[in-house]
A and B are shown apart, each in its own frame.
Chain A
């Protein structure tokens, strides 16, 4: 393997990992705070990508506006999902909430198919061209995706230091005690949904100029995101980031040598890591229903 090929593979993996990190972070945030397994998380990523393409390609708005629009729209949709569906099923238990999120995700996917069809929706590249390091070419858009993912994760880390962020972490630790401390669970929950789903919207915005939006992209990324949460540990942002890049890079190297069966390598990796660190690299084990 040449150094050029090695670097190319690493960049591919970092880009994928960046996307996994954003989607997984939102997922693990909601899971950690609300104990809700949001199976529809990937659909927010898909909608964010479509919205970005629409805002830029159809309305002609600048790309940063599209990112903000996607963030806001997915945050609002996440809050609506909570207020309209999740909050009603929470008392019924973990599996009830899981099923309704599956249903919501399926409905959203089918609406996307009916609206956009099965053809992908592409937008003109925003960061066009390639950057060369020696003889290695890197798509500028991909580099921006990687950088964007890191910036968003840093922003999320700082957000979690704010008052509301601390409230969210407290609620994740122990909801009853947090409530006794005067933290309003209602506010924490919908804020969590807004942030968690907004993150996916941003992820979709970042990837849209590089890969076309498609109705299947949400479900595709969810499997990887769940693996990332499993490896990183529930409720851990830094764990999600670390695990995402590990998964992305392993998948990228695996594809180079075993082709589309690269997911096998990822699952083997996950199995090994979980064997030695059942609680994830930096977080806690996934919540068991009923606990």
Chain B
């Protein structure tokens, strides 16, 4: 029979429920555990402080942001040493390879500057300190915590590049604190004429040239009816509409998108629904990573025999698709291509690429495209010759030329359709590829000009832009091969 202990807990000696711990014993154990944790944390903090500046990362726990101190590289010990620091923050999800890769690229950019004595700006030499903040996966709470830490605690004045953040939350912190936000956003949240310090380093408004290019090729091959299959989040809600507009311009009948939660692993029901819709093109416009493989496999399993736009793939994903669904099933599919090694000719970009390979070995395509805002920022700082937020922002908002990026060029443009006459929204160049015998084979690129003009036409914005050009002149573009020009509008 159970016995009562002095501590007040029942003790059942018959079962495996051995005597419960008394209150005094529990407090002793808790105190000991707390002391161990405190000592361990103190030692860990000491070790981190004495570290050599190599990048450390921790994933964000729910509701709390954690930061990764940028690698920065060793500052040159030559005659000229930086006298000041320039902190640049990047908001990414370290749950995604994109985020990890963006961190690596920012690290490389910083090292390149620092090892040559720092970044000379306005007569001063600055040590570039890139700091990566984990914003979770489209998580508003984690985004808020991360940006608050960056701006309010760490004193970061420039957010350059972002992925998977909730941008509408970020700008509510950066704007009132006079910090420049140059992230990625596909929604109207960051296109407010009242914003002073918001520049869309990576947006979607002027990114339909690539989509149109690929969709047109599928139409040439016989596609007539398409459906977009994408994860459901803030970005894709807008992105899917824009992607569909591009499809209609290309001549496709585009159905309502099929969305899924990011935790989905069983795509059988989705594939079944796709097949029931009798489409001949499935567009995984914003799907990423292994979900692409799972969706393609599921489509094959249900007997879908139409075209597939597999989206943002890299060779690893293509290899996995080939392993799961067979090379024949994915032969000829077209996609975005983010590996600049075969296409990039600019010597500065090649230097970055070579450094990436020497430091990290195997080249990863994730992140390559999403660090394009860095080059806009770099150009603006060099133009302004200042690290003053107002000066840099002014340089960005009056930028009349494109800049080189790892994936071609990018350029900022005004949005006269919503009353913004400053150049705040980017049109990024893109490489394109076709899957041939299981290998992603680049076949061309989409120019900044094509991105800009096709997007204006697809979104039905020709009139306000024509008025703007009549007053301010037509923009000039980087010297790239283009398919379109102003006469198509």
- A-B complex is real: yes
Residues of A within 8 A of B (CB): 5, 8-9, 12, 15-16, 82-83, 87-88, 90-92, 113-114, 118-120, 122, 124-125, 130, 132, 135-139, 142, 179, 185-186, 189-190, 211-212, 214, 216-217, 219-220, 251-252, 255-256, 259-260, 262
**Bitwise interface map of B from 83 to 124 toward A, beta carbon under 8 Å scored 1, else 0:** 000000000000111000000000000000000000000000
Q: Which 7 A-B pairs have the closest CB atoms?
A: A186-B16, A137-B303, A139-B301, A120-B290, A255-B269, A185-B15, A118-B95
Contacts of B14 in A (CB 8 A): 179, 185
Task: Check if A211 sits within 8 Å of B266, measured CB to CB.
Answer: yes
Task: For B259, give the chain A residue with the smallest CB separation.
Answer: A260
- Most chain A beta-carbon neighbours within 10 Å: one of B95, B266, B270, B324: B266
Binds A, one of B69-77, B272-280, B350-358: B272-280
Q: How far is the CB of A224 from chain B (nearest CB, A)?
A: 11
Residues of B within 8 A of A (CB): 9-12, 14-18, 20-21, 59, 95-97, 232, 258-261, 263-266, 268-270, 272-273, 275-276, 289-290, 293-294, 300-303, 320, 323-324
Contacts of B9 in A (CB 8 A): 91-92
Q: List 16 A-B contacts (CB under 8 A).
A: A12-B269, A12-B272, A83-B16, A88-B17, A91-B11, A118-B96, A122-B293, A125-B324, A130-B301, A139-B301, A179-B14, A190-B16, A211-B294, A212-B265, A212-B290, A219-B263
Task: Check if B18 sits within 8 Å of A212, measured CB to CB.
Answer: no
Q: Could you tell me the distance between the alpha carbons of A83 and B14 in the complex, rounded to whole angstroms?
A: 15
Contacts of A82 in B (CB 8 A): 16
CB contact under 8 A between A122 and B290, given known A135-B303, A179-B14: yes
Task: Check if A255 sits within 8 Å of B265, measured CB to CB.
Answer: no
Task: For A8, give the chain B residue with the smallest CB separation.
Answer: B272
Task: Check if A90 sits within 8 Å of B17, measured CB to CB.
Answer: yes
Task: Check if A16 sits within 8 Å of B272, measured CB to CB.
Answer: no
Task: Check if B289 sits within 8 Å of A119, measured CB to CB.
Answer: yes
Task: Check if B302 sits within 8 Å of A137, measured CB to CB.
Answer: yes
Q: Could you tell me the distance between the alpha carbons of A137 and B303 in the complex, rounded to whole angstroms?
A: 6
Task: Check if B269 sits within 8 Å of A91, measured CB to CB.
Answer: no
- Most chain A beta-carbon neighbours within 10 Å: one of B232, B273, B289: B273
Contacts of B10 in A (CB 8 A): 91
Q: Could you tell me the distance between the alpha carbons of A56 and B217 in the complex, rounded to whole angstroms?
A: 40
Task: Check if A87 sits within 8 Å of B17, measured CB to CB.
Answer: yes
Contacts of A216 in B (CB 8 A): 263, 265
Task: For B258, give the chain A residue with the smallest CB separation.
Answer: A259
Q: How far is the CB of A164 from chain B (nearest CB, A)?
A: 15
Task: Check if A256 sits within 8 Å of B272, measured CB to CB.
Answer: yes
Q: Could you tell me the distance between the alpha carbons of A260 and B174 in the complex, rounded to whole angstroms?
A: 34
- Most chain A beta-carbon neighbours within 10 Å: one of B10, B272, B289, B320: B272
Give which listed residue, A92, A137, A214, contacts B301 with CB less than 8 A.
A137
Q: How far is the CB of A71 from chain B (nearest CB, A)?
A: 21
Q: Could you tell me the distance between the alpha carbons of A113 and B62 in the complex, rounded to whole angstroms?
A: 14
Contacts of A255 in B (CB 8 A): 269-270, 273
CB contact under 8 A between A186 and B20, given known A119-B290, A120-B265, A256-B276: no
Q: How far is the CB of A200 from chain B (nearest CB, A)?
A: 16
Q: Could you tell me the distance between the alpha carbons of A83 and B39 in the complex, rounded to whole angstroms?
A: 29
Q: Could you tell me the distance between the alpha carbons of A114 and B14 in the complex, rounded to whole angstroms?
A: 40
Q: How far is the CB of B480 from chain A (nearest CB, A)?
A: 34
- Most chain A beta-carbon neighbours within 10 Å: one of B10, B95, B260, B269: B269
Task: For A136, give the chain B residue with the smallest CB separation.
Answer: B303
Contacts of B11 in A (CB 8 A): 91
Task: Check if B17 sits within 8 Å of A91, measured CB to CB.
Answer: yes
Contacts of B290 in A (CB 8 A): 119-120, 122, 212
Give which listed residue, B16, B259, B276, B324, contacts A185 with CB less than 8 A.
B16
- Most chain B beta-carbon neighbours within 10 Å: one of A15, A219, A255: A255
Give which listed residue, B12, B20, B275, contacts A8 with CB less than 8 A.
B275
Task: Check if B265 sits within 8 Å of A252, measured CB to CB.
Answer: no
Contacts of B263 in A (CB 8 A): 214, 216-217, 219-220
Q: How far is the CB of B347 from chain A (nearest CB, A)?
A: 34
Task: Check if A87 sits within 8 Å of B16, measured CB to CB.
Answer: yes
Q: Could you tell me the distance between the alpha carbons of A223 and B320 in the complex, rounded to whole angstroms?
A: 30
Contacts of A186 in B (CB 8 A): 15-16
Task: Check if A259 sits within 8 Å of B259, measured CB to CB.
Answer: yes
Q: How far is the CB of B198 from chain A (nearest CB, A)?
A: 29
- Most chain A beta-carbon neighbours within 10 Å: one of B96, B232, B268, B293: B268
Task: Check if B276 sits within 8 Å of A139, measured CB to CB.
Answer: no
Q: Could you tell me the distance between the alpha carbons of A130 and B302 in the complex, rounded to whole angstroms?
A: 8
Task: For A142, give the chain B residue with the smallest CB separation.
Answer: B268
Contacts of A90 in B (CB 8 A): 15, 17
Task: Check if A87 sits within 8 Å of B18, measured CB to CB.
Answer: yes
Task: Check if A260 sits within 8 Å of B261, measured CB to CB.
Answer: yes
Contacts of A211 in B (CB 8 A): 265-266, 294
Q: How far is the CB of B83 from chain A (nearest CB, A)?
A: 40
Q: Could you tell me the distance between the alpha carbons of A120 and B270 in the complex, rounded to whole angstroms?
A: 19
Supply 6 further A-B pairs (C-beta < 8 A) apart from A119-B289, A185-B15. Answer: A12-B272, A82-B16, A92-B20, A122-B324, A130-B303, A189-B16
Q: Could you tell me the distance between the alpha carbons of A139 and B16 in the complex, rounded to whole angstroms?
A: 46
Contacts of B265 in A (CB 8 A): 120, 211-212, 214, 216-217, 220
Q: Could you tell me the distance between the alpha carbons of A259 and B273 in the complex, rounded to whole angstroms?
A: 9
Q: How far is the CB of A13 from chain B (nearest CB, A)?
A: 8
Task: For A210, give the chain B residue with the smallest CB separation.
Answer: B266
Q: How far is the CB of A217 from chain B (nearest CB, A)?
A: 6
Contacts of B276 in A (CB 8 A): 5, 256
Q: How far is the CB of B6 from chain A (nearest CB, A)?
A: 14
Q: How far is the CB of A256 from chain B (nearest CB, A)?
A: 5
Contacts of B272 in A (CB 8 A): 5, 8-9, 12, 252, 256
Q: Could you tell me the distance between the alpha carbons of A136 and B96 in the complex, rounded to whole angstroms?
A: 36
Task: For A175, give the chain B residue with the smallest CB separation.
Answer: B15
Q: Could you tell me the distance between the alpha carbons of A12 and B271 in the complex, rounded to whole angstroms?
A: 10
Q: Could you tell me the distance between the alpha carbons of A251 and B270 in the complex, rounded to whole angstroms?
A: 12
Q: How far is the CB of A56 from chain B (nearest CB, A)?
A: 13
Q: How far is the CB of B137 from chain A (nearest CB, A)?
A: 9
Contacts of B259 in A (CB 8 A): 259-260
